[in-house]
Structure 1
Amino acid sequence: MSSSTISVDEFQALEQKVLQTVELIKKEREARAVAESERDAARTEAASLREKLATASGAQAEVESLNREREAVKLRVEKMLAQMDELL
């Protein structure tokens, strides 16, 4: 049976690598938390924008409907004026 021994320098190097790995993992977790927070904020903003777009689309449809109605009223008034001219 051969027993392997680790020198103090090798142990310190290993310890340093473990500490670096722990720091790297902490930084990655923090970065992930920030990214998830930004993602959530972006989703909320996107939902708000979709809502505004739906409202704007509804308003656009209403404006188009009112324009058609206005044109119909205008034609009826012109027709009534032409009939009144014929009577005079």
Structure 2
Amino acid sequence: MQLRLADSCHLRGQAHRLATLALILAERGELKQATSTAERMLDCTAGMESERLAERIEAATTALNASDTQFVKAFVARARQQADIPL
């Protein structure tokens, strides 16, 4: 699955698109790709303060958190720290 990320698109827009894709991939059970996509979303949102983006990060974290794999655990830890999501 591909996601169009135009260079002229703002980072917030890219982050929202990546969040949507990560959720779709997680729902389809493609956890490694979902986690990689969610990591890219975190890269885009680093340093941003936005309640909406924090909600998107939390949704991705919740969707992936059911998995017990190391790469998901690393993402969840980073997401919680970056977005200040409670444990």
Q: Same fold (TM over 0.5)?
A: no
Q: Which has the higher helix share?
A: 1
TM-score with structure 1 length normalisation? Answer: 0.23
TM-score with structure 2 length normalisation? Answer: 0.23
Higher alpha-carbon Rg: 1
